[in-house]
Structure 1
Amino acid sequence: MGQYDEAIAQYNKVIDICPKEELNDLAIFYQNIAAANEQLKNYSFVKAYCTKALELNSRYTKALLRRARVLEQTGDLEAAFKDLIIACIHDNFSNKTFLAKIRELCHKLVEQQARENLAKSLKIIESTEFDKLPPSKLEVLLLRATFYVLSGDYISVIQDFESLLNSEDVFDDIKICVFVRRANLYMQLEMLEIAFKDFELAIGINPRYGDIYYQRGQIYLLIERLCEAKRDFEKAVECNSNFGMAYLQTCYMDFSFAYNNMDIRLVKVAVKKLERAFKKFPNPPESIFCCNLYADVHRHNFHKADACLVKAIQKYPEHAYVYETRGALQFKHDNINKAIKCFNKAIELDYKCEIAYKQLGKLEMQRGNIEEAIKLFDKSVTYCKIFKEQLEIYNLREAAKIELYIKNQLGGIPWLLREFTRFIDIEIAVELLNCLIS
């Protein structure tokens, strides 16, 4: 009848006279009080009474879902997520609405964590003094826009880009840089048509500026338009024959096309071209990238790929990236101890090597060392400054935290549930659980 205060009063009377051994009945009464309080928006009472109900009946799905809903509304996404997971376990992951909610809440939680962490990096660039810079400091404005990109604050990025492009004092090189960076931003936002327009505007300023074609080629590569990517990398080299990274990309594109077409002769030609690149670009970072590509083109020949990386380590023992790459190769081929050794060496050389921490976290997850995995993911996210990459690390960390929580709550974790927490992929979890149920 909508008389929630009176309902609460009556349920309290019921609780007073209900025999204490009737645990299920008492749990229902507490949950009903929580329901009435939810209608009154008394969220602290909702959480308290749901908790009382769950103390009496830990498998009370309705109380778990109600508490999860209120926890989400009050901003405690992590606690809400845990309640949803436990509810779904009790429900055998059969309710698609619950599963969809888990996915939605997981994305919210991960993004919230990433944004909170990156917000700490913005205190300096958001100070009032920053906006008082004279026009001659436009390059600093470009730097601030870069930080906004890293933080995911795309509105501020666009505003700073517009300020630069509308300034009469900005040099052509800076304008080109703005157009290229804005194009990459539009790419992240899946606004491809506008992104490619910005590349054209940059080309209109200086059609011999090789980096424009290189950056556009990278985007074509990401969206798997390989012919256009190959063309742009070749154009970048045409503009600047010493553009090492672009040249190496042409080598790799030649190999990819030959390999995909199963043209053994052209595969050999592409590999020879890459081998010549070692002499053409003997210094880092091009030489290291060349080693990485050479290992990749021999990915089906583990020993040859690994031998290439070993030589690179011997030549560049101070570069963490080489150890990181070899660690990834060893990890892929289940050589866990060697992978760990490589990743630890990368961290020894560069304590901010966030990828090494992330990979070590994955390894510890596989070995069941969940607490250690969480620590490693925490370190990884501390040193990672790219918002999109932070989201991936937070996903991994959240999976580890969920697994640890369930292990502590239930005294163990089924293999199928471990697959779910590792990937946070609802379709996979449902498919695996349905197999188990059947």
Structure 2
Amino acid sequence: MSKAAIPSTPATPALVVDAAGSSSIWTRITNWVADNKAVAYTVGAVVIVVTSAGAIYYFNSQKGDIKRVGDLPVSDATGERADGSMRKKKKKKGKTAKKDDAQAATAALAQPPPPTIEVEQELPEVTEENVESFSAEERKTLAGKLKDAGNKAYNSKNYNDAIALYTKAILCKPDPIYYSNRAACYNAQSNWAAVIEDTTAAITLNPEYVKAINRRANAYEQTEEYSKALLDYTASCILEQFKNDNAALSVERLLKIVAETKGKKMLEGKPKRLPSPTFVTNYLQSFREKPTPEGLEDATDENTGDYYLNKGLRDIQLKTAQSYEDAANSFEKALELGVSDKYLAFAYNMRGTFRYLKGDSAEALGDITKSIEIDPSMTQSYIKRASIALENSEKEAAVQDFATAITFNAEDPDIYYHRAQLHFISFEYPEAARDYQKSIDLDRDFIYSHIQLGVTQYKQGSIASSMATFRRCQKNFENSPDVFNYYGELLLDQSKFEEAIEKFDKAIDLEKKMKPMGMNVLPLINKALAIFQWKQNYEEAEKLCQTALILDPDCDIAIATIAQLLLQQGKVAEALEYFEKAADLSRTEPEIINALSYAEATRTQLEVQERYPHLANRAMAMPRA
């Protein structure tokens, strides 16, 4: 896919979702960022580094071993040169690499050992008290000799001697290389505080000293000062124009660590709440609508649980943020007061559904399991429990629940539709297509099975079949905004911008006519992306997303899209605010971590601009779409 993310469920357009229809907005945003190179240093959605480097071998006649080195002394333990750089590794695989290494070693053996560094056996004593007694030229010459002696001691792993020699060299000449070399010794001793102190001194003298920046970043990581380490590695990436794959991978690793750490703290005090009405509506619509349980509509006594169970079902029909919140409260109240035995399994199913939507998986799992225990034939409960299992990365448990549901009712089309979702997110497209078709065979009136079949065909590379499926959907479901929205996404993925926008406009018109109280805002956001990709019209794209937020203030995908548009324009501080808001709206730990990863990447870019002003222009000059 080259331009637009492809929808994976009609429950949430353009997002990869699990069998229950829940989703992560970040799948779509990550695809969009990667395709458009939106933020060069945001290492999960847009930067890919591939490097290769040669190696030099020499034979140590004293020790009789072969070492791989660069142009400076190297530590066996760390692979670092004394000036702080890492020796380069040539990436090869299998027998070819071994053969080449052996040939290189043989060639090295045939060569005389490299010339040794001649260092005076006796160097004058240098102290703080007598250093000024030497002339400037003498101090310069002496500093070089002390550094060479320090390198020799470093290579012999006599780190304390090396530290003493580098310290004297610094007294003669405060050179960033000498500080970095001494930091290499402290690094070998795991004296991280000293490493940070010396590398900071080196960076102060030379703000673009990449080796010192990388070494300090490593020390910060060792002391669990992850945000500082992330900042240094990011600066290093910018200085080296993202050609150092080790630094780039470190940024990726630290982004995850920082996001996970902050995400866990955020979850500790985060109140459980429903996501946006768009999300809730799309999730509920991923199940075929069923009639109200017989007799429940007659429950009019406000002192009974049956009344509140019925009220919750009525609240759902309004499809607004407040009505969904009312529904959640009604289902809680129903079970508190107690419902009739014939409705009990259904009541636990509905309360578990809204607890799941709030991100309270443990409580939701308890309710759904209770529902199954009361009525093992309620297949929808197995489907929803499978959703929870998938969210917890328990695929086998989900597969088992689908299989059990089929034993109770092999003719329930919802089972096959949601099992197809499981296959879809597992990239098992042939299996997904079969289940979507089975769902259609059992109920041809459920639009989302048709849509998802078309999307799966597209994913399989059968573009002609996919387009034919959507043309049939357009004809048979001419009043469905979802058909036009998804069709537009596939056209956008093919860079057919005008046709895509036409479909999005049709979807928007139908949404306004059919759902004035609870309009699905995703066609607005899709249109924004189309306009941006086609004409680079930031203003119009952002305006459409802001309109979406007026209609649905908690629409996380609109917020994340605006954040990316702001980053594209170099408005880093404003983008950070939106990313943080997106994280606050996320409902589950994985969603929060993904959102915070973007927020931390953006925050780091802002800090680079503030702390390293000389790098700001370079960061902004990195390739963009």
* 2:497 is aligned with 1:302: yes
Task: Return the match for 2:435 from 222, 225, 232.
Answer: 232
For residue 356 of structure 2, the aligned residue among 141, 146, 165 is: 146
- Tell me how far 1:63 sits from its aligned partner: 4.1
- Aligned in 2, Cα 1:383/1:326: closer, same or farther, shift over 3 Å? same
SS in 2 for 1:412: helix
Equivalent in 543, 548, 567 of residue 341 of structure 1: 543
Contact 2:450 2:469 in 1 (8 A): no
Give the CA deviation at 1:275.
2.6
What is the aligned-residue RMSD (CA, Å)? 4.5
- In the alignment, the residues of structure 1 paired with residue 238 and residue 458 of structure 2 have an alpha-carbon distance, to the nearest angstrom, of 45
1:404-419 superposed matches below 5 A:
404-408=606-610, 409=612, 410-414=614-618, 418-419=622-623
Q: What CA distance in whole angstroms lies between the structure 1 residues aligned with 2:364 and 2:408?
A: 20
**Is the CA contact 2:417–2:439 (under 8 Å) kept in the aligned structure 1?**
yes
Aligned-partner Cα distance in 1 for 2:250–2:181: 26
Q: Note closer, same or farther for the CA distance 1:143–1:73 as it changes in structure 2 (3 Å cut).
A: farther
Residue number in structure 1 paired with 2:220: 71
Aligned to 1:435: none
Q: Please report how far the alpha carbon of residue 79 of structure 1 lies from its aligned counterpart in structure 2 after TM superposition.
A: 1.2
Q: How far 1:343 moved relative to its partner?
A: 0.6
Residue 448 of structure 2: aligned partner = 245
SS in 2 for 1:172: coil
- State the Cα distance separating 1:415 from its structure 2 match: 6.8
Give the whole-Å Cα distance in 1 for the aligned partners of 2:243 and 2:487: 47
Identity of aligned residues (%): 21
Q: 1:49 to 1:122 in 2, by over 3 A?
A: farther
CA–CA separation in structure 2 for the residues paired with 1:164 and 1:359: 34
Cα distance, 1:145 vs structure 2: 7.2
Cα deviations by residue, 1:28-85 (Å, 9 ceiling, x for unpaired): 487378548844xxx5565445434432343444543343233223433221111123
Alignment check: 8 A CA contact 1:365 1:373 kept: yes
Q: Where do residues 170-181 of structure 1 align in structure 2 (5 Å cutoff)?
A: 170-172=374-376, 176-177=379-380, 179-181=382-384
Q: TM-score, normalised by structure 2?
A: 0.52
1:63-212 pair list within 5 angstroms: 63-90=212-239, 95-121=244-270, 142=352, 146=356, 150=359, 157=362, 161=365, 165=369, 169-172=373-376, 176-177=379-380, 179-184=382-387, 187=390, 192-212=395-415
Alignment match, 2:568: 366
Shift in CA distance, 363/163, structure 1 to aligned 2, threshold 3 Å: closer
Cα distance in 1 between the residues matched to 2:488 and 2:239:
47
Q: Distance in 2 between matches of 1:261 and 1:304?
A: 16
Deviation at 1:8, TM superposition (A): 12
The answer (yes or no) to whether the contact 1:361–1:376 under 8 Å persists in 2 is: yes
Q: How does 1:266-415 map to 2 (within 5 A)?
A: 267-268=467-468, 270-279=470-479, 287-299=480-492, 300=494, 301-317=496-512, 319=519, 320-334=521-535, 335-408=537-610, 409=612, 410-414=614-618
**Relative contact order: is structure 1 or structure 2 higher (C-alpha 8 Å, sep ≥ 6)?**
2
1:219-259 CA-partner distances (Å, limit 9, x unpaired): 22333433432332233344445534334434x35974998
Give 1:18 shift: 2.0
Report the TM-score, using the length of structure 1 for normalisation. Answer: 0.70
Q: CA deviation at 1:346?
A: 0.5
Q: State the match for 1:24 in structure 2.
A: 176
Consecutive unaligned residues of structure 2, counting only runs of 5 or more, are 1-155, 274-331, 339-343
Higher-helix-fraction structure: 1
Deviations 1:87-113 (A, max 9, x none): 445566555444433332233233333
Q: For residues 144 and 68 of structure 1, do their structure 2 counterparts lie closer, same or farther at Cα, with a shift above 3 Å needed? A: farther
Of the structure 1 ranges 305-314 and 360-369, higher mean CA displacement relative to structure 2 is found in: 305-314
1:406/1:413 contact within 8 Å kept: no
Structure 1 unaligned residues grouped into runs of 5+: 125-129, 280-286, 424-438
Cα contact 1:295–1:308 (8 A) shared by 2? yes
CA distance in 1, matches of 2:563, 2:410: 45
Q: Report if aligned partners of 1:186, 1:192 keep a CA contact under 8 Å in 2.
A: yes
Question: Which amino acid letter does the alignment assign opposite residue 27 of structure 1?
Answer: Y
Shift of 1:345: 0.5
Change (3 A) 1:304 1:141: closer
Measured in 2, the distance between the counterparts of 1:25 and 1:271 equals: 67
Q: Contact (CA 8 Å) 2:203, 2:213: kept in 1 or not?
A: yes
**Secondary structure of 1:75's partner?**
coil
